[in-house]
Amino acid sequence: MRNHAGKRMRKRLLLIVTALLAPLLVLGIRLLLSHAADSFTTGALTFDPKHSPATSFLLGPFTVEWNPEQGGHLVVNHEHAPGQVVWSTLPGVAFASAGQGCEKVTESHGSFDIRDTRKHVCTEQTIDSIVQFPEKVVVSGTLTGRNGKEHVGYDFSLELCSPHQLAFHLSISDPRYNRVWLTYASEPDEHFFGFGEQFSHFDLKGKRVPIFVQEQGIGRGLQPITFLANLVAGAGGSWSTSYACVPHYITGKLRSAFLDNSEYAVFDLRKADRVQVHVFASRLSGRILQGESPAKLIEEYTSCIGRMRPLPDWILNGAIVGMQGGTEKVREVWRTLEEHDAPVAAFWLQDWVGPRKTSIGKQLWWNWEVDDKQYPGWLSLINELRASGIRVLTYVNPFLVDVAEKPGAKRNLFKEASDKYFLVRNSSGAPCLIPNTSFSAGMLDLTNPGACTWMKDVIRTQVIGAGASGWMADFGEALPYNARLNSGQSAASFHNEYPEAWARLNREVIDETGHGEDFVFFTRSGYRSSPRYTTLHWLGDQLVTWDGCDGMKTAVTGLLSSGLSGFSFNHSDVGGYTTFSKPLLKYQRGKELLMRWAELNAFTTIYRTHEGNQPEANVQFYTDEETLAHFARFAKVYRAWAFYRKQLVQEAGRTGLPVMRHLFIHYPDDPNTFALSYQQFLVGAELLVVPVLDSGRETVSAYFPRGRWVHVWTGEAYGDAGEGIHQTVAAPIGKPAVFYRDGSNVGPQFIEELRKLKILE
């Protein structure tokens, strides 16, 4: 009996181990199979020296030099930066390559896995001619496969766009070659920053950075949650997955470039001496930027893609209180906030459309109208809050669900859109029903002008018409890769553009009211031109944890990286969002995390709470007297620097500079700043914040760039006037390490405002 029981136990253990290891084995095999596709594409550069002698071309203030020495290479310089190479190719190395490929895409809940199979890759490059036209230099020639059998022509051009911008364009003559690579020089000690919203690393040198908008993932490498999220829904993500990745960077050598392409792209920075850009297309276009500082490069970049317009003053004056639960719950919390004299700008009522229970907790009925059962007396509540100077924000996204079974629904927007052919469709012509958690939804086809007009009318009449001053414009990253669109454009190439189109639709709604400057909508997904349209950005759904994979630390890295790519106004949920309450998978928001996150967000553009997907499992700011008092205290701290925040918001509208800034922006000559990611940041140029990002800590290690910095709470001076220095600083709960630059006008005014609000003696 014991022998049989032992066999059964061993069999069960074997099955359990197999179940756990099988996904890892499959992943390993997939990684091995995709290794060739992920590797660098390299070849030799050849030319006839008689037909390609050393030549120099002038394009405005730019000089493009062809140097045939050491195998031949192109070098771009600018008259304002003598001695600095703005851009160059590698001597003797092919800078253009092309191939034919076929990708396999696996989709799940807005997460995408893209694997590429290549054939007929032409890596050997021959230059036949280098010719200057007005404002343009064109290099033409042939790309050849290593077996010598495949040949295809190419053109590579550099064209003057402005005194500080050169456009580049690489095109392949045969459209069957749907993969193109551009390879150019880097330096071993060059640091790469930007690429939109990057959560795991600020410096991406040595990384392979894919540019494809999608869900950031659950866990993003934190175990066991990533493994389990992948096992159940393929939604664990990785270090590089992002809602708002952008094909743009700035380096520590003050080099900068971006792509105009919207197709899937990869920036491969793994080799010390080069950058290789890979695009799923037969042409690759973008711009090379020149600037004398990071701030100037941000200004040049945002002059191309568009800048976020200044926010209205009302949203900058107090907290945005994220609430669910209905009319009476809002009134109850409002009373407690009044008792603590907390500055409140708005209540954000996500569940205004009515809650529904799903596998991850509480979600919403995606049918954009007030749920009278959840919010009886809605207009009375709106008017009472407005009379006290408090606005109401709601929630909208580009999905629609069938509400045939929802009691009290006045309209079925899903049915209306489906009947009008306004939804994204699958290969058979039926609406794509995209899985979310326990339900599926149809997605608006934003290439259909009729669908856009219809949706704008829904927002105008049912959201703005319901008294809202703004809304969360959620989602935008889940367009299926092989969907059918009304415009005929491939969904693969429109996928990254979808969040731009979603932001544009929302912008058009508020602009068409004639009072667009008074409304605010905030988006989480974005691409290159999203800052042109969105009024406000937020970081999406972090875990309610401290970690650097998907928790509080990633919020800081995401804020700082996105700020380099034009997302000037960005913020996170106070306390994070994603919560799990399973016996072996428990991630719930604790009091300390909530309080430290409130301290962090009091120094970002927006101070906004979120109850999370499982409100009852999380500590909330109103859970007890201690959390409520702490929240109110930092709402006042946030209010105390509103005067400076409004200055920075106006500056962002003129220059594209973010409110929260990595130290690199103002101290590019200090190499110590390159190693910083989430540890600290600047607010504008005058405030330095070193948040506590680990449980149980009451001190921080701060890096003070050159100059003297005055501690807000103690008045003690830190730093060294001549050079940067690391120092340990006390940071108990309630008094985070915040400093102002000695000699700044902002610091004394901030202190005075804190005293008026009775935060400082």
Give first-to-last CA distance, the chain, whole Å. 77
Place of tokens 């970002």: 604
Q: Which residue is catalytic, options 477, 573, 611, 686?
A: 477
Is the Cβ–Cβ distance between 578 and 543 less than 8 Å?
yes
150 is catalytic: no
Closest CA to 176 of 143, 204, 206: 143
State how far the Cα of 62 lies from the Cα of 160, in Å rounded to an integer.
8
Q: Which residue is catalytic, options 474, 550, 573, 753?
A: 474
477 is catalytic: yes
> Is residue 4 packed enough to be buried (19+ CB in 10 Å), middle (13-18) or exposed (0-12)?
exposed
* CB contact set of 51 (below 8 Å; sequence gap of 6+): 128, 129
260 is catalytic: no
Longest dimension (CA), the chain: 91
Closest CA to 94 of 47, 37, 150, 149: 47
* CB contact set of 263 (below 8 Å; sequence gap of 6+): 279, 280, 281, 492, 493, 496
Q: Which residue is catalytic, options 190, 351, 541, 547?
A: 541
Give residue 85's region: left, alpha or beta (phi > 0; psi -120 to 50): beta
Place of tokens 């120099």: 56
Backbone phi and psi for residue 182, each to the nearest 5 degrees, phi listed first: -125, 125
* CB contact set of 657 (below 8 Å; sequence gap of 6+): 295, 298, 299, 563, 568, 648, 651, 665
**How, if at all, do strands 111-133 and 45-47 pair?**
parallel
Closest CA to 424 of 357, 475, 458: 475
For 337-366, the DSSP string reads HHHTT--EEEEEEGGGG-EEEETTEEEE--
Backbone phi and psi for residue 730, each to the nearest 5 degrees, phi listed first: -70, 140
Q: Which residues are catalytic?
A: 474, 477, 541
